[in-house]
């Protein structure tokens, strides 16, 4: 059970979020660094993700084996991920070993040596990861589409980079990037535990407080110019894959929650979404159809994705556009709107049951909004959305015929 959440800050600028838990033997922690794909320079595509890999390859006092074994030997888990704007290192352990996890995260974050031999070995691992994505058109199309929407901006770079960019990384590139962005004032550390806050803070000060107060590197290049583009690529796939979308609200725009609810209604994770009912269930044209909405600090992107047999492609696209137009042309009734709101709130509540999600969500909230947003805060924003606002947002972001939309088609062709 989650009780209370408090925020603190160390003298070196590291922000802390502590969430008290009870009736659990497990503690969770996450270090969120405001450095991701969009902080990369030209010809550095994939550098932030590559550094995330290299954090596990050795520090001044540990070799790779000792890093990997440090938490697993006590049944814990250590992992990391990179996004367009963030790098996250997170761990879950039994509560008596929380300090072990915090010390390890501190060590790999600030003391990684980026050994040249390990760099060369890891290049092969990451290139293999890139090739695995190229074998999965349902995933690759999203990277390619972001490259179209955010053309000539690092936001459009694939998180993994390219084989060419990865093979050209040097030790000095990794060191320069971490010196710019891996500093306490550019981070938030979030902990959820049954330990007393005073004890956790002492541990955090001991393992993180000694690192330098420094100025963050240059801000990422803002995204300014969007030009709609329609692209078709012939591929030897069993299915056609299609995605269309456009710009959407940033993290700080007032209508972000409205679009979040709108997206959930149109093609969110529920089987009762408009797209699932109107295309998959009614006609059986496609197994995979969804919409999505991502917000970044200065922009966002809305999309609709589907995969289908070539003979159903145009029908599926037309049906998807028709479902979007219905939301533009028709207000949702009071009862139905209440049900949609309850659905979204329920999904958020279920996600909060995963405490790993909680620590990451709290860290992201503090990093971006300077405060921890509670479920109650989010519920209030959801409840405040009106039918008229949904129609206005649909007209602004979902109207594929009147709004400038980009699209990408992986057209399946015969293997013969």
Q: How many CB atoms lie within 10 A of CB 219?
A: 9
Q: What's this model's pTM, rounded to 2 decimal places?
A: 0.94
CA gap 141, 241 in Å, rounded: 8
State the Cα torsion 260-265-269-271 to the nearest 10°.
170
Q: Are 375 and 401 in contact (CB under 8 A)?
A: no
Q: Half-sphere exposure (CA, 13 Å, Cβ side) for 224? A: 3
Cα 280 to Cα 38, 62, 110, 260: the distances in Å are 36, 52, 49, 22
Structure tokens that stand for 276 in this block: 């699932």
Structure tokens that stand for 27 in this block: 């503690």
Domains and CATH numbers, the chain: 2-208 (3.30.830.10), 230-412 (3.30.830.10)
**Cα–Cα–Cα angle for 268, 274, 280, nearest 5°?**
95
Spell out the per-residue pLDDT of the chain, length 416, in tens: 446 899 999 999 999 999 999 999 999 999 999 999 999 999 999 999 999 999 999 999 999 999 999 999 999 999 999 999 999 999 999 999 999 999 999 999 999 999 999 999 999 999 999 999 888 999 999 999 999 999 999 999 999 999 999 999 999 999 999 999 999 999 999 999 999 999 999 999 999 999 887 788 788 889 988 999 999 999 988 999 999 999 999 999 999 999 999 999 999 999 999 999 999 999 999 999 999 999 999 999 999 999 999 999 999 999 999 999 999 999 999 999 999 999 999 999 999 999 999 999 999 999 999 999 999 999 999 999 999 999 999 999 998 877 889 999 999 986 44
DSSP alpha helix (H) spans, 246-353 = 256-267, 274-275, 282-283, 313-329, 334-352
Reported as a single tens digit per residue, the pLDDT across 366-394 is: 999 999 999 999 999 999 999 999 999 99
Q: Are 32 and 83 in contact (CB under 8 A)?
A: no
CA gap 312, 240 in Å, rounded: 9
Reported as a single tens digit per residue, the pLDDT across 190-227 is: 999 999 999 999 999 999 999 887 788 788 889 988 99
Burial 14-51 (b: 16+ CB within 10 A, else e): bbbbbbbbeeeebbbbbbbbbbbbbbbeeebbbbbbbb
Q: Are 102 and 67 in contact (CB under 8 A)?
A: no
Radius of gyration over every alpha carbon of the chain, rounded to an integer in angstroms? 23
- C-alpha closest to that of 291 among 282, 300, 299, 301: 301
* pLDDT for res 213: 75
* pLDDT for res 416: 47
């Amino acid at each position: 059970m989650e009780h209370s959440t408090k925020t603190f800050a160390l003298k070196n600028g590291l922000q802390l979020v502590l969430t008290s838990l009870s009736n659990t033997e497990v503690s969770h922690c996450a270090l969120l660094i405001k450095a991701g794909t969009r902080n990369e320079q030209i010809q550095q595509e994939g550098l932030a993700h590559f550094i995330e890999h290299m954090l596990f390859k050795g520090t001044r006092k540990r070799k790779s084996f000792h890093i990997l074994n440090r938490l697993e030997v006590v049944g814990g888990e250590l992992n990391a991920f990179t996004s367009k704007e963030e790098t996250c290192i997170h761990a879950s352990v039994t509560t008596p070993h929380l300090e072990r996890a915090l010390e390890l995260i501190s060590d790999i974050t600030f003391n990684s040596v980026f050994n040249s031999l390990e760099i060369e070995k890891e290049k092969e691992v990451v290139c293999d990861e890139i090739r695995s994505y190229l074998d999965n058109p349902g995933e690759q199309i999203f990277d390619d589409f972001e490259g179209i929407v955010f053309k000539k901006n690092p936001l459009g770079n694939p998180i993994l980079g390219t084989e060419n960019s990865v093979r050209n990384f040097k030790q000095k590139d990794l060191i320069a990037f971490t010196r710019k962005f891996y500093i306490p004032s550019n981070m938030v550390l979030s902990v959820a535990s049954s330990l007393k806050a005073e004890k956790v803070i002492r541990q955090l000060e001991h393992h993180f407080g000694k690192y330098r107060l420094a100025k963050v590197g240059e801000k990422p290049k803002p995204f300014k110019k969007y030009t709609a583009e329609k692209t078709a690529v012939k591929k030897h796939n069993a299915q056609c894959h299609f995605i269309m979308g456009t710009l959407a609200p940033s993290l700080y725009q007032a209508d972000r929650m409205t679009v979040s609810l709108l997206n959930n209604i149109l093609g969110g994770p529920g089987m009762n979404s408009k797209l699932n009912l109107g295309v998959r269930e009614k006609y059986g044209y496609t197994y995979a159809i969804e919409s999505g909405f991502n917000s970044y600090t200065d922009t966002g992107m809305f999309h609709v994705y589907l995969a289908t047999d070539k003979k159903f492609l145009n029908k599926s696209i037309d049906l998807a556009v028709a479902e979007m137009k219905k939301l533009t042309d028709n207000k949702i009734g009071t009862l139905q709107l209440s049900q949609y709101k309850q659905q979204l709130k329920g999904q958020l509540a279920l996600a909060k049951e995963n405490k790993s999600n909680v620590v990451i969500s709290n860290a992201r909230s503090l990093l971006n909004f300077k405060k921890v947003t509670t479920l109650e805060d989010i519920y209030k924003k959801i409840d405040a959305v009106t039918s008229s606002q949904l129609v206005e947002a649909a007209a602004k972001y979902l109207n594929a015929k009147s709004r400038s939309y980009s699209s990408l088609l992986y057209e399946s062709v015969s293997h013969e």
